[in-house]
Amino acid sequence: MDSGHLRAGPCLQFWKSDAGVHAWCNNRERRIEGHQAWANDELYSVVSLARFEREVASFRERLLAEMDERVRTVESGWTTPGVERDAVALREQHSREEEPWAVITVATDWRRVSAALAENGSG
């Protein structure tokens, strides 16, 4: 998962197994001007797939609600010197983001994956 937008962003990795969804965060070597950027060097957790899906949906709902509040602020006449705003275009863009996310479930053909890895010398 890309955290390049953060200064000294963590290395985040997620994967799924029979145990659930695993999350690993590696903050080693993440420093700002020589100081440790994060409180922990490494974090790891595993949760059920159902809980992970609920949390992702909850995060999305909260994010869109917060963004909607900000769009309403712009629509109500928010101004900042030197900043142009287009409240109509902003509302239109935000409305597109509120559309339900498509759920794509494609079974992984692990035999093909293993064969491709073996062919490239990685398996």
Same domain, 26 and 75: no
Residue 103's pLDDT is 52
Same domain, 57 and 95: yes
Q: What is the pTM of this model?
A: 0.58
Same domain, 62 and 34: no
Same domain, 54 and 38: no
Q: How confident is the model at residue 98 (pLDDT cuts 50, 70, 90)?
A: low
Q: Which pairs count as long-range contacts for 92-98, CB under 8 Å and 24+ apart, including other chains?
A: 94/64, 94/67, 94/68, 97/64, 97/67, 98/64, 98/68
Same domain, 41 and 2: yes
- Cβ-count burial 3-37 (b if 16+ within 10 Å, e if not): eeeeeeebeeeeeeeeeebebebbbeebeeeeeee
The mean pLDDT of the chain is: 84
Residue 23's pLDDT is 93
Provide the residue range defining the domain that includes 105. 49-123
Assess whether pLDDT exceeds 60 at residue 104.
no
Structural domains of the chain, count: 2
Same domain, 80 and 111: yes
Q: How far apart, in whole angstroms, are the C-alpha atoms of residue 65 and residue 74? A: 14
Residue 78's pLDDT is 85
Same domain, 56 and 36: no
Same domain, 73 and 119: yes
